[in-house]
Amino acid sequence: MVERETYAIELAGLRRELPLFEVKPGLKIAILNILGDTPLVEACAEALAHQSRDRDFDVIVTAESKSIPLAYAMSVRLNKPYVVLRKVYKFYMGEALKAQTLSITTGEPQTLYLDEKDHRLLRGKKVMILDDVISTGSTLEGMRSLMEQAGATVTVEAAICTEGDLARWNGIVALAHLPLFEE
């Protein structure tokens, strides 16, 4: 097994060592992968729900896939429905809305899809956009675009962590900020 550099962080009272991965020559990022880490998901959901409790929104919206357990856990705590924007279109999604993004972790263009049934749920609603990590803002922009197409208003943007230029993320409800590791 490869010995990988890590970045130590405390999130909602829990310490984690995030592995560093090179995303392009001379640039590494710390990867937060909450999938399967139930204690971390629960702690972060509790902390973000606490920070968001007095914010005005009706529905939580997230994109596939790492932030789905977080959206579910926050949905339970805040007693609000959640919607998942998909990355692959399936026939049962009907007349889905779509928006393009560029993920820092894949380096490839991706499409986000809003299912026809969820489009109806979101029309006229105030939404919280939720992600695990907001890095370049591309996914955030795609999610904003879909909410506009759906006739929803984004009133809250939240993530476990922001990354990169901290000044860009002033309005984001977040638990921590991750630096970029440039060589």
CATH number at residue 129: 3.40.50.2020
Q: Is residue 2 part of a domain?
A: no
In-domain check, residue 19: no
pLDDT reading at 31 higher than 80: yes
Is there a domain that residue 27 lies in? no
Average pLDDT over residues 158-176: 94
Q: Give the domain extent around 147.
A: 34-177
Strand partners for 132: none
Domains of the chain: total: 1
In a domain, 132, yes or no: yes
* Mean pLDDT along residues 173-183: 94
Whether 25 maps to a domain, the answer reads: no
Reported confidence tier of residue 104, pLDDT bands at 50, 70, 90: low
Q: Is 12 inside any structural domain?
A: no
Whole-number pLDDT of residue 101: 82
What's the whole-model pTM score? 0.93
pLDDT at 102: 74
74 belongs to a structural domain: yes
Q: Where are the beta strands (DSSP E) in the chain?
A: 6-11, 14-24, 27-30, 59-63, 82-85, 97-102, 109-114, 126-134, 153-163, 173-178, 181-182
Residue 183 included in any domain: no
pLDDT beyond 90 at 3? no
Q: What pLDDT was estimated at residue 24? A: 86
What is the pLDDT at residue 165? 87
pLDDT of residue 109: 83
Q: What is the mean pLDDT of the chain?
A: 93
Q: Which of 23, 2, 43 is nearest to 178 (CA)?
A: 23
pLDDT in tens, 122-146: 999 999 999 999 988 889 999 999 9
Tell me what pLDDT residue 103 has: 65
